[in-house]
Structure 1
Amino acid sequence: MLYIIGLGLADELDVSVKGLEVIRRAERVYLEAYTAVLLVDQQQLERYYGRPVIIADRETVESHSDDILADAHEKDVAFLVVGDPFSATTHTDLALRCRQHDPPIPTRTLPNASILTAVGATGLSLYTFGQTVSMVFFTDNWRPSSFYDRVAENAGLGLHTLVLLDIKVKEPDLKAMARGKIVYEAPRFMTVAQCASQMLDVEEERKQGICGQDRLAVGVARLGSENQAIVAGTLEELAEADLGKPLHSLVLCGRKMHEMEWEYVREFAMDQDKFDRIWRADYAGKG
């Protein structure tokens, strides 16, 4: 059987008891290491699990899944996922391959916390979140802005938008590839400040007010860990915020922000007076 096991968001201790039991008896243990990362390294996981862990990068999962699934119809294989197993479509694809395998490979999923639920720590109600969007690193020649349309749809309904920020792990250096060399770039993790800045840049092009300077937002970092950080303010303020080490995410607040949400979130505000003033003028009673 293939066990797809959620590890939670922070460290080796977040795995469930059921998950840990499977990991310790499985024939092989893989760690998917490109859609998200834990806040501890591979060696720390191996010490706690008492087992070697095989790192599965994007190429392994997407192009060499047969290696992961080898003998899984006869033996237990553990596939570890940061957060919750089905928060990323990659893992749905792997489960589908198990169904299509000859013979079919039985699967079992062990869920855990993900950013999609942990973001409730901001005080914003999960019931009033709309579509989740992703923000990628802009380059000189590539500045995709399709996220703006999804945010606009959420904003039209007064809903909050969770923005997941880009990470680059084991990304090939394209210039080196052009010279016939395989070289990987150093890992990069987008910050709340970078995300807010890119949203403001796109607003300059679209000019619909969806991601304007005075839109309220909440930045989070390392949710679920002992040193998690939550900062609230305008997009303009968050574009200057420093939340420290990865991983970061951002929530753009919807107009339906209830008074109870405001009362909770304002404690994280960089400038409480400004936050309160904007909320009363543009959000209170607008839902």
Structure 2
Amino acid sequence: MLTFIGLGLYDKHDVSEKGLRLIRSADSVFLEGYTSRLMGTTREELEEYYQKPVRLLMRADVEQHPDELLDCAAKGNTVFLCAGDPMVSTTHADLRIRAAERGIPTAIIHGASIVSAVCGLAGLQNYRFGKSCSVPFPQGAWSPTSPLDVITGNRAQRLHTLVYLDIQDGRYMTVNEGIALLEAMAQKKQVTIPLYIGIARAGSDAPVVQAGSAGVLSSADFGLPLHILVVPGELHDMERQYLERFAGLC
């Protein structure tokens, strides 16, 4: 049996009671550490809380070499943990398909997701979001402009864009870095992005939410990770009022 369990947004206490019960009774516990992270805790703290050893998996372990995980699931109760909600990431959907192809039963225990948390923190209506995108760290001469294409396509339809910021080997892209990369893309294509919303540490006791132009937010201090960006489309009156009240929009 392979159970996908979402751990929520920030620390060890965000997991549901159902999820925690299944983790503590599992034969094997794996934690995925490449799509997102629980920044309010450590693997050691999770092991103490779960009363179980936790095996950390990175992208290659899941996407290219999942045999150890699937072998454990074929033999006993195995849980696959991730920050947020499990099936927001296509890499997790692929793993569930692989398990099913081997005849391994699967189940999902959902957790709080940044997708819905952004709506609450920024006051944006969830049905007004278009396709999301990710901004990666540049690698040498490689610096894709596809995120800007997604943003401009959404804005043409008056839709908001959720922009995921890259995580690589313990390096976490900041709101400021993400804006700088998007502004460079926009300059090359002669596109203007009038408004950004930066969010830091969603799910913590003190999240930061700030809305403004690139010039305003580029110098803002969002503090520790994780960070995420939203590029809004045309704002509804209530969305604008919410951002003025809770995100400092002028």
* TM-score, normalising length: structure 2: 0.96
Matched, 1:163 2:146: no
Within-5 A mapping of 1:171-190: 187-190=170-173
Whether the aligned pair in 2 keeps the contact of 1:232 and 1:268 (CA below 8 Å) is: no
**Do the aligned residues in 1 keep the contact of 2:74 with 2:104 (CA within 8 Å)?**
yes
- How far is 1:9 from its partner? 0.6
Q: Does 1:232 align with 2:233?
A: no
Between the aligned partners of 1:140 and 1:62, the Cα distance in structure 2 is 24
CA distance in structure 2 between the aligned counterparts of 1:253 and 1:99, rounded to whole angstroms: 38
Three-state SS of the structure 2 residue aligned to 1:73 is helix
Partners of 1:71 and 1:31 lie apart in 2 by 14
* Contact 2:10-2:38 at 8 Å conserved across structures: yes
Report the secondary structure of 1:51's partner residue: coil
Structure 1 residues 121-153: Cα deviation after superposition (integer angstroms, max 9, x where no partner): 111111111111100112451211011111111
Matches within 5 A, 1:102-113: 104-113=103-112
Q: Secondary structure at the match of 1:72?
A: helix
Note the C-alpha offset of 1:269.
4.5
User: Match for residue 174 of structure 2?
Assistant: 191
Q: Give 1:237-252 correspondences, 5 Å limit.
A: 237-252=216-231
Alignment partners' CA distance in 2, 1:264 and 1:142: 38
Report what 2:242 is aligned to.
264
| Amino acid in structure 1 at the alignment position of 2:148 | Y
**2:226, 2:218 → 1: CA distance?**
16
Contact 2:200-2:226 within 8 A present in 1 as well? yes
> Match of 2:91?
90
Q: Partner amino acid for 1:57? A: M
Question: What displacement does 1:57 show?
Answer: 1.3
User: 1-side partners of 2:62 and 2:157: how far apart?
Assistant: 37
Question: 1:87: how far off?
Answer: 1.2
Counterpart residue type for residue 194 of structure 1: E
Displacement of 1:63:
2.3
Q: Which runs of 5+ in 2 are unaligned?
A: none
The structure with the larger Rg is 1
Paired residues of 1:195 and 1:239 also in contact (CA < 8 A): no
Could you state the TM-score of these two structures normalised by the residue count of structure 1?
A: 0.84
Q: Structure 1 segments of 4 or more deviating over 6 A? A: none
Partners of 2:13 and 2:70 in 1: how far apart?
A: 26
Q: Does the 8 Å contact 1:123/1:261 carry over to 2?
A: yes
* Letter matched to residue 73 of structure 1: A
In the alignment, which residue of structure 2 is the partner of 1:205? Answer: 188
SS in 2 for 1:113: coil
Q: Which residue matches 1:53?
A: 54
Partner of 1:4: 4
Question: Which structure 1 residue ranges, 5 or more long, are not aligned?
Answer: 170-186, 276-287
Q: Map residues 13-162 of structure 1 onto 2, 5 A cutoff.
A: 13-39=13-39, 40-101=41-102, 104-120=103-119, 121-162=121-162
Query: How many Å separate the matches in 1 of 2:203 and 2:50?
Result: 20
Determine if contact 2:122/2:247 at 8 Å carries over to the other structure: no
Q: Aligned with 1:220: secondary structure?
A: strand
In structure 1, what is the Cα distance between the partners aligned to 2:226 and 2:35? 11
- State the match for 2:195 in structure 1: 216
Contact 2:133–2:161, Cα closer than 8 Å, also in 1: yes
Give the drift of 1:64. 2.0
8 Å Cα contact 1:219-1:230 kept in structure 2? yes
CA–CA separation in structure 2 for the residues paired with 1:71 and 1:38:
24
Return the letter of the residue paired with 1:235: A
C-alpha distance in 2, partners of 1:152/1:71? Answer: 45
Query: Residues 6 and 110 of structure 1 are in contact (CA less than 8 Å); yes or no, is this contact kept in structure 2?
Result: yes
